[in-house]
Amino acid sequence: MWRGLWTLAAQAALGPRRLCTRRSSGAPVPGSGATIFALSSGQGRCGVAVIRTSGPASGHALRILTASGDLPPARHASLRLLSDPRSGEPLDRALVLWFPGPKSFTGEDCVEFHVHGGPAVVSGVLQALGNVPGLRPAEAGEFTRRAFAHGKLNLTEVEGLADLIHAETEAQRRQALRQLDGELGHLCRGWAETLTKALAHVEAYIDFGEDDNLEEGVLEQGGYLGVGKEDASCFTPKGSPHCLPSACLPSPTADIEVRALEVALGAHLRDARRGQRLRSGAHVVVTGPPNAGKSSLVNLLSRKPVSIVSPEPGTTRDVLETPVDLAGFPVLLSDTAGLREGVGPVEQEGVRRARERLEQADLILAMLDASDLASPSSCNFLATVVASVGAQSPSSSSQRLLLVLNKSDLLSTEGPGPGPDMPPHLLLSCVTGEGLDGLLEALRKELAAVCGDPSTGPPLLTRARHQHHLQGCLDALGHYKQSKDLALVAEALRVARGHLTRLTGGGGTEEILDIIFRDFCVGK
């Protein structure tokens, strides 16, 4: 127990490890010991293609393909003639880079071949590498998995790298880069160190609280309110050797830090899935009465003819969805059937689906015809959809709404505009484009609230896995607060700490790792 205790204390004393000194994650590497190779720059014709290798035979493969006994200087580009090791036929004149481990992406010996990007050249170099003994083609995500196994990246950084590769909008790129830089991992490691310190002191009292050889002040350092050797009896009332009365809960050193951590976890879990929306896209639904201009707006925002536009009411009878980059945020934009009653069975089904999509929306674009605000359909829409969503407080509902009055070009310049009873709204003309800039700016602000601003604030939780482990940690801290037995307090801290450790990759099961790494392409 002495070794375990002081190991925990030593880990708590150390600050967050720098990337270059990170230890191995302990995760098994598929086919570890083999040297892998793959095209890393993607398929198709291009000016330059990058082929990389990783593993102990990388240097040998470089010598064979360049017919040279000497390796080039580490991390310096060198021009070399590549030849087929069997026939000696020249393949290409390429730039080669030698990265000896552990100072490489994977932590192993690595080589990069920058060749001309024609299919014949790339195929020839890949075939030549396949003929080198000890080399085999890489599996999808295997380079990054080896980097994780050798402690070059933790699991949240691996997920950030995957998100960066798949990022399609500016906001996604910013968020992925922050996660790749280790912000979420550093935050979780700091939280884990707080729990490690608290756990070490609890274990100290359990094992040595009544030991006369226990150094003076250790219990006070642990933060247990008013407890020294002379007060040890308050932890051991009759009938329970490790009972922890509420008056003796840890005080402003260990306990207050743990309770502050509980508050921080709660704040992160109340982000209303903003990080996941930023990663996968916010759901924006365009709705309104028939002929309000919903399809015209969808076509305008998506910059392509997604929906059929017609003066005939009820043209759209199903939900039409298209992914869109709106003000740098990823959005799944839905065009829906006009909301009205007393229609045929086909359109009635379209209206039902439209109402179903409304319930799933993160942001509702409610559209009305600005020249027909007094019609029964407009009044009914304002009373049912706009009023019901607007009446909800932002804290109690994740849905947000923008009211857009379309066809502003039909309003008379001298005539009255929308009345004073009209809720906050934006004027727009899908025909002339007037008001579009104002709408885009309003959308940017609303989407920043829905998805979070990736440039500021704490790291966002971009995956359900993150939420699961933080919720598990928070639940364990709830047991910590309620426990009156020191053994149960220690177990609660241990469980909470385990969730944070698994979030960054420690102790992860093979199945979870497979799910994460399968999102990578071959060669990454």
Q: Tens of pLDDT along 3-13?
A: 443 343 334 33
**Per-residue pLDDT tens over the stretch 16-60:** 333 333 444 444 454 557 999 999 987 888 899 999 999 999 999
Is the confidence at residue 226, as pLDDT, over 80? no
Total structural domains within the chain: 2
pLDDT interval class at 206 (50, 70, 90)? confident
Phi/psi of residue 361, nearest 5 degrees: -70, 145
Chain-centre distance for alpha carbon 394: 24
End position of a domain, from candidates 138, 163, 184 = 138
Please, what sign has the CA dihedral across residues 512, 516, 521, 524?
negative
Q: How far is CA 257 from the centre of its chain?
A: 27
Q: Does residue 505 form part of some domain?
A: no
| 372 band by pLDDT with thresholds 50, 70 and 90 | confident
- At 203 the three-state DSSP class reads helix
Question: Would you state the torsion angle of the CA atoms of residues 478, 484, 486, 488, taken in this order, to the nearest 10 degrees?
Answer: -50
The reply to whether 482 falls in a domain is: no
Last residue of a domain, one of 107, 138, 169: 138
In a domain, 312, yes or no: no
**CATH classification of the domain holding 426:** 3.40.50.300
**Greater pLDDT, 210 or 486:** 486
The Cα 157–Cα 378 span in angstroms is 50
pLDDT-derived band at 402 (thresholds 50, 70, 90) equals very high
- 116: Cβ contacts below 8 Å, ≥ 6 apart: 47, 48, 49, 92, 94
- In the structure, what pLDDT confidence band is assigned to residue 211 with cuts at 50, 70 and 90? low
Q: Is residue 523 part of a domain?
A: no
How many Cα atoms within 13 Å fall on the side-chain side of residue 370? 22
Confidence check: pLDDT of 435 > 60 = yes
pTM, to two decimals:
0.70
Helices (H), 211-282: 218-222, 254-269, 274-280
DSSP secondary structure of 247-258: GGSB-TTHHHHH
pLDDT digits (tens, 9 = 90+) for 88-116: 999 999 999 999 999 999 999 999 999 99
Question: By three-state DSSP, how is residue 29 classified?
Answer: coil
Report if residue 325 sits inside a domain: yes
Is 52 domain-assigned? yes
Residue 29 lies in a domain: no
Residue 152 lies in a domain: no
Tokens read off for 330: 């990823």
515 pLDDT band (50/70/90 cuts)? Answer: low
At which of 108, 138, 168 does a domain end? 138
pLDDT of residue 15 exceeding 50: no
Range of the domain at 376: 282-306+319-339+348-411+420-451
* pLDDT score recorded for residue 225: 35
**What pLDDT is attached to residue 521?**
66
The per-residue pLDDT for range 23-35, each reduced to its tens digit, is 444 444 545 579 9
Q: Tokens at residue 265, please?
A: 């976890």
Q: CATH no. for residue 50? A: 3.30.1360.120
* CB 445 within 8 Å of CB 233: no
32: which 2 tokens? 């570890």
